[in-house]
Structure 1
Amino acid sequence: MKFIRKIIETRSKKDEDFIADLKKIIGFTPKKVEFYKKAFIHRSIKKFNKETGHPINYERLEFLGDAMLSAVIASYLFQEVPTGDEGYLTQMRSKIVSREHLNELGRDFGLIRFVQSNVAKSKFGENIHGNIFEALIGAIYLDRGYLACKKFIFKRVIDPYVDVPKLEGKITSYKSLFIEWCQKNKKDFEYNFYEDTGNDSLKHFSVKLKLDGKIIAKGRATSKKKAEEIASKRAYYAFQKQITDN
């Protein structure tokens, strides 16, 4: 009995510590802590619902949180910028909920410390930070409803970070900007990936960006998409005057 009591007390203390840390981030005490626990379960745990057999991890909550975040941001922009057309509002929302920004938020809150996983945290890609931030939003919605979810998004995303005039000039994709300039000026461009011989523990991809047959920039990252973006950013700054004058 003493052994069982010790296990129960240990678990309760662990939950109390989790709730106390979480409260500092979300600003209130959770009603159903299970929602929040699930928001930090990585699929590598391979946990399943005993009754339904469905997997238990943060991915469904991430989907829900992404939808709630987009809805709140869309509503905010709709009211804040009454003259913005659909294209403008969509572009502004994309800047606010960009993967880069969400990853930054997840990192700033240190959410990675809550993640349960059978994979070493050093092996995770950058997107894990944004993914669990969205999952947390999904958990808040299920636990407290739309108004609490909206309040959290305003407190943690909109109020401290959203400045519409500044966002108008923010570049979210150097690749898109570079390609648009090339197409507009009828220039040939090509992204060529080549073998990466680095000794990093994580697999890396490298790319050479060619403009009219000449290499103008290179990029290297843990994914092809990131490598392309790095090369595009370097190309943008190399041709910034020509690009911005068009």
Structure 2
Amino acid sequence: MGIIKKIFNKSRSPEDGIFFEEMRKILGFNPVELSHYRKGFTHRSSNKTDENGNPINYERLEFLGDAMLGSVIAAHLFKEVPTGDEGYLTKMRSKIVSREHLNELGRDLNLIKWVESKVSAQHFGENIHGNLFEAFVGAIYLDRGFTYCEKFINKKVIVPYVDIPKLEGKVISYKSLVIEWCQKEKKQFHYDVFEDNGNEDVKHFGVRLKIDGKIVAKARATSKKKAEEKASQRAYFAFQEKINKK
């Protein structure tokens, strides 16, 4: 590995040298092919293509990284929870790789610092942090293979964040809980979504959640999905004892 580093030190440009050192700090080991990581930080707005006209951006790496995360975490859960059935293991994996958690991981590593884009960072959605983290994992797989990819996921995700007892009690979707409860109790539910701009420049959506024809919760947010989740959370706490009743 020392020989590889010496060779790279001779051939890298000063800019690549800085990028190499920064990647090495995040990875905990030496990257070999920096182009994989460069691609992992290239936003589609850059409109880059390779010699064959194929787009160069992080979206395909994002897909690959998602698969790597899922497989490594699935294997960990399979080993650590021998009594867990398929449904339990699937829910636990979903909690670990939830969009909220992936965004947190991406923010913690400050991956957005390296994004190459023609769009201002203030226009990126919150999910770019998680997308970059998945793309970064995909880049690791292409660069160093499965063993190093697994090593990184274990160090950055499993060891610091995967606490089985805590995860069992973690709610990742209040909307799913409310819908499951309504279906179980044969209750009719409906999310009434409407545009709600108010006096703000940013478009908002309002949501009224009705159960058996009665409005039980209201919420507003910058997207329909977020507004529905907020309304569901309020409904959950209103009916918590009934929902959690075995």
Question: Secondary structure at 2:13's aligned position in 1?
Answer: helix
CA contact (8 A) 2:106 2:130 kept: yes
Offset of residue 153 of structure 1: 0.2
Following superposition, the deviation at residue 201 of structure 1 comes to 5.1
1:104 corresponds to 2:104: yes
Find the aligned partners of 2:202 and 2:70 in 1 and give their Cα distance. Answer: 32
* Cα gap change, 1:119 to 1:65, in 2 (>3 Å): same
Amino acid at match of 1:130: G
Q: For residue 85 of structure 2, what is the aligned residue in structure 1? A: 85
Aligned to 1:183: 183
* 1:194 shift after superposition: 1.1
Q: Which residue of 2 aligns with 1:235?
A: 235
Quick one: distance in 1 between partners of 2:149 and 2:199? 44
Residues 65, 202 of structure 1: alpha-carbon distance in 2 compared, 3 angstrom cutoff: farther
Range 190-199 or range 230-239, more displaced: 190-199
The corresponding residue for 2:226 is 226
Which amino acid letter does the alignment assign opposite residue 77 of structure 1?
A: L
Letter in 2 for 1:193: V
CA distance in 2, matches of 1:24, 1:75: 26
Contact 1:193–1:206 (CA under 8 A) maintained in structure 2: yes
CA distance, structure 2, for counterparts of residue 205 and residue 107 of structure 1:
26
Match of 2:42 in 1: 41
Partner residue of 1:5?
Answer: none
Displacement of 1:184 in angstroms is 1.4
Q: How big is each residue's C-alpha offset from its partner over 1:141-177, in whole Å with a ceiling of 9 and x where there is no partner?
A: 1111100000000000000000111111111110010
For 1:64 and 1:199, the matched residues in 2 are separated by: 42
Q: Is contact 2:197–2:203 with CA below 8 Å preserved after alignment?
A: no
Q: Greater shift after overlay, 204-213 or 193-202?
A: 193-202
Is the contact made by 2:42 and 2:57 (CA closer than 8 Å) also made in structure 1?
yes
Q: Which residue of structure 1 lines up, in the alignment, with residue 5 of structure 2? A: none
State how 1:141-152 maps to structure 2 within 5 Å. Answer: 141-152=141-152
Q: What's the % identity of the aligned pairs?
A: 67
Question: Retained in 2: the 8 A contact 1:123–1:202?
Answer: no
Aligned counterparts of 1:216 and 1:121: Cα–Cα separation in 2: 37
221 and 16 in structure 1: CA distance in 2 versus 1, 3 angstrom threshold = farther
Measured after TM superposition, the shift of residue 212 of structure 1 is: 2.2
Q: State the shift of 1:202 in Å.
A: 4.3
**Alignment deviations for residues 181-214 of structure 1 (CA, whole Å, 9 cap, x no partner):** 1111122211011122145554332211112222
Partner deviation per Cα, 1:97-145 (whole Å, 9 max, x = no partner): 1111001110111111111111111111111110010000000011111
The alignment covers a number of residue pairs equal to: 235
Q: Residues 183, 172 of structure 1: CA spacing in aligned structure 2 closer, same or farther, 3 A cutoff?
A: same
Q: Which runs of 5+ in 1 are unaligned?
A: 1-10
* Counterpart contact for 1:111–1:133, Cα < 8 Å: yes
Unaligned runs of 5+ in 2: 1-11
SS of residue in 2 equivalent to 1:245: coil
Using the size of structure 2 for normalisation, the TM-score is 0.91
Question: Is the contact between residue 65 and residue 137 of structure 2 (CA under 8 Å) also seen in structure 1?
Answer: yes
Report if the CA contact (8 A) 2:193-2:205 is conserved: yes
What is the CA-CA distance between 1:219 and the residue it aligns to?
Answer: 2.4
Q: Which residue of 2 aligns with 1:3?
A: none
TM-score normalised by structure 1 residue count:
0.91
Distance 1:130 1:150, change over 3 A: same
